[in-house]
Amino acid sequence: MSAITIAILEPGYRDYAAEGEVLSAHDARIVPVSADEDAASSLKQLDPVALLVRERPVTASEIDSCPNLKVIVRYGVGVDNIDLAAASARRIHVANVPDYGAENEVSEHALALYLAVQRRIPSRDREVREGRWGVGQEAPVPNRENAVLGLIGCGKIGLEVARKFRAIGFASVLGYDPYLDADTAKTHGIQIADLDTLCSEADVVSLHTPYTAETRHILDREKLGRMKPQSILINVSRGGLVDETALADCLAKNRIFGAGIDVFEHEPLDSAHPLLGTPNTVLSDHTAWYSERTVSVLQRNAAHEVERVLRGEKPRNWVNPW
């Protein structure tokens, strides 16, 4: 049996031994396609039966360049970077990996970003290194007495964020999520709220919702304008949920206290991105999901989805069923 090709678009992991092990029965050849290659041309030569991808777009032309393609698997949850219509038109399965157990990593990162912003850790570090000391009330720090957490999205990660913020003293949690039922909200001590109320009353607004046409810029200029002057925005979900230009304007004019941002509408950041110059803003490189454990689980679970399709089965996490 001749080897089949599994193409890795946007390679970024240390190695692909886990995928090779899972797919060994199929004599699979794992071939990374680097970001600086013409993906469509490379894929046409490789003729892969499966694509594995992280954040980079998978376009219709790239899909069409693979005549024997059977499945596309996203390393992670969101699939807005994949042309689902083009894949569905060819009856190509698209699957994601929502079950790699990153709830702890993402929720910890959200909490870490909040504390870094609230306690002004980056600026304290920088000023100590520059010889400044005892800045004190020149740089006010908002307290957490009776603080309110506002969750936009109350799935597994959002609920874990709520638990951890309560542990450091947050008094109450507001939740905006059309899919949050009353029983779940009651069990987790979440008060269901509309988006306007959440933005107006929360001391911290934390985003944990998928990116869709409906949620794009769910925090636009008007919603950001409702936030308290001492409030903090945390985004460890998807960059397109926030109007970044409006957010940068709010931060620059001190209309909100600060922001901790791990995800951006376009990645990596352009050197002229407005959030690179805003005060009390802590940025990270789409790394909230990461730990050595999650990488291992993610790679294996993604490969298992490919393996199911090669066996003639449906993916476990099939996102474009027909």
Q: Please list the active-site residues.
A: 238, 267, 286
Which homologous superfamily is 4-100+292-310 in? NAD(P)-binding Rossmann-like Domain (3.40.50.720)
Q: pLDDT category, 12, cuts 50, 70, 90?
A: confident
The predicted-structure confidence for 32-50, as pLDDT tens digits, reads as follows 998 888 999 999 999 999 9
Domain spans of the chain, in order of start = 4-100+292-310, 103-283
Same topology for domains 4-100+292-310 and 103-283, yes or no? Answer: yes
Whether residue 10 has pLDDT greater than 90: no
Question: Mean pLDDT over residues 183-187, rounded?
Answer: 97
* pLDDT greater than 60 at residue 1: no
Instruction: Provide the whole-model pTM.
Output: 0.89
Higher pLDDT, 157 or 11: 157
- Secondary structure, 3-state, the chain: CCCEEEEEECCCCCCCHHHHHHCHHHCEEEEEECCCCCHHHHHHHHCCCEEEECCCCECHHHHHCCCCCCEEEECCCCCCCECHHHHHHCCCEEECCCCCCCHHHHHHHHHHHHHHHHCCHHHHHHHHHCCCCCCHHHCCCCCCCCCEEEEECCCHHHHHHHHHHHHCCCCEEEEECCCCCHHHHHHCCEEECCHHHHHHHCCEEEECCCCCCCCCCCECHHHHHCCCCCCEEEECCCHHHECHHHHHHHHHCCCCCEEEECCCCCCCCCCCCHHHHCCCEEECCCCCCCCHHHHHHHHHHHHHHHHHHHCCCCCCCECCCC
pLDDT tier at 2, thresholds 50, 70, 90: low
Domain 103-283 sits in CATH at: 3.40.50.720
Residue 107 has pLDDT above 60, yes or no: yes
152-173 confidence digits (pLDDT tens): 999 999 999 999 999 999 999 9
Kindly tell me if the per-residue pLDDT of 281 is higher than 70.
yes
For the cut 80, the answer to whether the pLDDT of residue 71 exceeds it is yes
